[in-house]
Structure 1
């Protein structure tokens, strides 16, 4: 026989499920009718009174119904025995959609679109942190006799293209020498170390190539530095407008906060482990503007190395189990795709 504490948690679970589904305060009769708890309405009313006293549910107005509090959602999430798996069809659809991506930018854009569709929330994906990326190859392509295109490729699949205008013409043999010099210094290096080595190259270069090396290195250092404006992809913002009443503070404040990349990056800061889903509910979010939201995030990466975070932002009234499953599944597939590139 279930203990009083276990029965009360089942009542809380029923209130969470019904409130997420209907957006209406939940009464004892509805719980008895919809959920097979095996107890009377009077027992459920007593359990609801105990839950309210513990701060897990609250009465939004004078009706008999109750809604979960942030504390109630937290207990519910903490007691989820496991993140429910997606169906085979859902997993196959995710893999098929992401496998069609052409490059890293496309992978992240598709991931955001997919997460927003699966969860019906705002999806956010952080670009792989450059400080953790390694140079895989640098291609030097002559466009004209005095203009080169540099194509920097990292182990995370990031591709950065830059143009360099030279002061003088350069022959095919010298382009090959330049390519060798640059790759010898950079390949296999983390981007901060690669930047330091590139800065030393002009002094070490042969006299006849020194000016070309100087110009190329100036452009390369720019490519090797973090660009904060490129660090996030966000999609599905319109999903927040489906139920404005989910945001008793101000939906406008939430939308403005989402435009601030620093705020969003802080929301993803806890996503330090791939496979470990983090849930921050309501007041647990540091930013005051985000106190009416919940953030579900996870790290994604390659071979146990987390490259960035991804997640969703939505109202505290959300399908936590389903959203957690979707976030973890998409992160897993993104990691697999990057590992195979």
Structure 2
């Protein structure tokens, strides 16, 4: 156990080290406490003995260990979101006309700027692809464009070579009928309701089932990364080899997504510090990650990846703000 004063000293060391990236000497700490430098040194020795801080050299000041950062995060008071930033993000996303790629890009860029570190945002996805609506556009006598919109607002298109001619009126009639029958349906639930359905209608149903099945088979959604420049500017990554390891990990999008999914599994928000990460390349990093959307429906993740020397209070607030904004927008889509 550490005393209240030692906890305050640890928090001071974390705050100063986050700002300066330099070891924090006892003389600097003593200015903020009504005790002598000798008392501060004794408290620092206790913190070092408990593994909360370490000293790069015998005569140097203290820097937080991974255990120290964990203790600091666990003792932070309740962190509020940033309503102004959340409102700005909502406005940006609403202007993107339900374009999921633009949403994801805007969210990642804003989170990166808010946290001043690298941000990762995955597009929203459903456990199973569900149809929201379709449109059929007449191109030629035997050619039509099928536009399928999923419940997470993703759009898929396919050119249909019709087995019989169809006018725009015919196609509109088919799309209205199928929207009434199958809105919200999965691939397995889309079947002809009438044995004598028109050939064109059957062809559209076959195409819909194929598109939904393909979507389910490829449920992996590639995350979008923003703010790599912030990571490159951190003193921890001036070592090119360490930076290369992190970049290699981030560029493997499937592995990145799987790693983030494991981290946040079953939790709304999680802070993972240093060696708590199961991927070796980012064990000198911290990941603050939150899920957005609906736990049993359309959802995705937002995360900040940076050195363990993070401003945890600001970063947690930023991640929560973006998560809340995206959750609201996903709810409006469903």
Q: TM-score of the superposition, structure 1-length normalised? A: 0.86
Query: Which residue of 2 is the match for residue 54 of structure 1?
Result: 50
Structure 2 CA distance for aligned equivalents of residues 173 and 205 of structure 1: 20
1:7 shift after superposition? 0.7
Q: Would the alpha carbon gap of residues 218 and 53 (structure 1) be closer, same or farther in structure 2, given more than 3 Å must change?
A: same
Tell me how far apart the structure 2 counterparts of residues 135 and 123 of structure 1 sit (CA, whole Å): 30
**Which residue among 211, 218, 231 is the counterpart of 1:227?**
218
How many correspondences in the alignment?
330
Poorly superposed stretches of 4+, deviation over 6 Å: none
Q: What's the offset of the Cα at 1:210? A: 6.7
- TM-score, structure 2 length as denominator? 0.87
User: What SS class does the counterpart of residue 38 from structure 1 fall into?
Assistant: coil
Query: Is the 2:188–2:209 Cα contact (8 Å) retained in structure 1?
Result: no
Match of 1:182 among 171, 178, 181: 178
Match of 1:68 in 2: 64
* Unmatched runs of 5 consecutive residues or more in structure 2: none
Q: Which runs of 5+ in 1 are unaligned?
A: none
What secondary structure sits across from 1:269 in the alignment?
Answer: helix
The 2-side partners of 1:238 and 1:202 are apart by 55
Pairwise CA distance, 1:255: 0.6
Q: Equivalent residues in 2 for 1:260-279 (5 A)?
A: 260-265=252-257, 266-272=259-265, 276-279=268-271
**2:302 aligned partner:** 310
Q: Does 1:195 align with 2:190?
A: no
Equivalent position of 1:240 in the other structure:
231
Deviations 1:232-260 (Å, cap 9, x if unpaired)?
Answer: 22211222110242577711111100111
Q: 2:91 maps to what in 1?
A: 96
Structure 1 residues 247 and 290: CA distance shift in structure 2, 3 A: farther
Does the CA contact (< 8 Å) of 1:201 and 1:217 recur in 2?
no
Task: Report the Cα offset of residue 90 of structure 1.
Answer: 3.5
Distance 1:78 1:141, change over 3 A: same
- Asked if the contact 1:263–1:287 (Cα under 8 Å) also holds between the matched residues in 2, the reply is no
Alignment correspondent of 2:13: 15
Residue 285 of structure 1, CA deviation:
0.5
C-alpha distance in structure 1 between counterparts of 2:207 and 2:130, whole Å: 19
- Cα shift readout 1:74-100 (whole Å, capped 9, x = no counterpart): 1111111211443x5444433433332
User: Is the contact made by 2:232 and 2:238 (CA closer than 8 Å) also made in structure 1?
Assistant: no
CA gap of 1:287–1:321, structure 2 versus 1, over 3 A, is same
